[in-house]
Chains A and B, each alone.
Chain A
């Protein structure tokens, strides 16, 4: 061995001992107890701290304090990461389940309500059913509830009305400043029913239940362990509001599905658990990836 070769050459001191002894407070204890220059050098190199070496102390302590402050406000990183991962998985599964069931649910709902709901989408292009911009501003989240009704209607009514010439002459038939963005010549009373209609179809309205059976199915498809977490996600917040609280969601969903899709409810049962979710996931994956 190389070390033995080194030692065998007659190096008088045990180097390992010298290296270890360098930091000891009082020197010597060398095997020969003779003043060894190398030992002295090592001791000097490992000598007591010099003041100049500790000038960064306050800076380091400030860093420690800052890190501690940050650590107190934020929880330890590892559990957070795991929780975020779990939450991500739950949201993802919820999204997949909702996507997988929402199509069928929407189709079912369409069949249930053939009256009056299906009519508006065809009309607003010819007749100014859709609200004026001021009405649209009052219902900012209307698009989430009935996308087929309001949004396509708003654009066509605005575009024929706002020609460059009209907008350049604001005095023409636009007495109301709130409607100045779309100075269409129609009288205000024609707009009134349109406003009522959109209010009627707003998200807070109980009529707007288009995707609640779908949400319910997604919710009931989850294993029971995940249901509680899922209700905290934005995807299910509407359901919680509609049911009047997270505790009521199960009963509410059973009631909704008993009305809209008793077959599904019978098939899956109120205690539809992990088996369904497991069966749902591959199907959804197949749908997503072509």
Chain B
């Protein structure tokens, strides 16, 4: 997978358009899903196309390494720029709200067991606390390993692993999977996840930072 990818990167650097198409096709879906969680579905497409613009422009200067991590870092920076711009103009709807509504719809999917739709699954992940959602998306959807995801996020690999674990556990609770541990309150669907993390797991935050 990654060998194929780095071959395509080299070919694209040499000017092979089909290789660039391959890069786009293999990365764009995960990138867009990740960006949707970051900036919302409306803006994600714009941010993604900004990202590809920059990837195309800077590809000649890309010097080895993990291409996906490089591109995702660009995407994340563009997303942060977008959020900063958006904060300056707060008239726009907050994407998190839409996402949690989507997540509410997604709960119906739990009855269908594993045959959950992509949209619903993504919405559920997006409803996680941001750090956990990012960690899960980078690991599972973009396909980065913990070390690389940590580099993208500017955090240690252990912190990414922790966040992903917690995210998955939270997802399991959302799905109503019976879990043995009782240290976490089982009232998952009734209460929104965000305030719960704030109160529940303050001890791990310094690790993340």
Contact = CB atoms under 8 A, between A and B. Distances in A.
Given A11-B181, A23-B141, A77-B61, A41 B53 contact: no
Contacts of A78: 61
Most interface-central of B17, B48, B56 (chain A CB within 10 A): B56
B35 to A, nearest CB: 11
A9 B183 contact: yes
B54 to A, nearest CB: 9
Interface in A8-37: 9-12, 15-16, 18-20, 22-23, 35-37
Interface string B32-68: 1100000000000100110011011101110000000
Contacts of B166: 6
A60 interface: yes
Contact of A60 (B24, B124, B204): B24
Interface stretch (A66-74, A98-106, A198-206, A212-220): A66-74
A53 B24 CA distance: 11
B116 A40 contact: yes
A68 B168 CA distance: 42
A38 B124 CA distance: 11
A44 to B, nearest CB: 4
Query: What does DSSP make chain B's interface, helix, strand, loop or mixed?
Result: helix
Most interface-central of A2, A3, A54 (chain B CB within 10 A): A2
A61 B29 contact: no
Given A42-B140, A44-B117, A65-B17, A56 B52 contact: yes
B143 A23 contact: yes
B171 interface: yes
B140 A46 contact: yes
A100 to B, nearest CB: 40
B40 to A, nearest CB: 15
A41 B60 CA distance: 37
Contacts of A38: 168, 171-172, 175, 177
Interface string B134-155: 0011011101011000000000
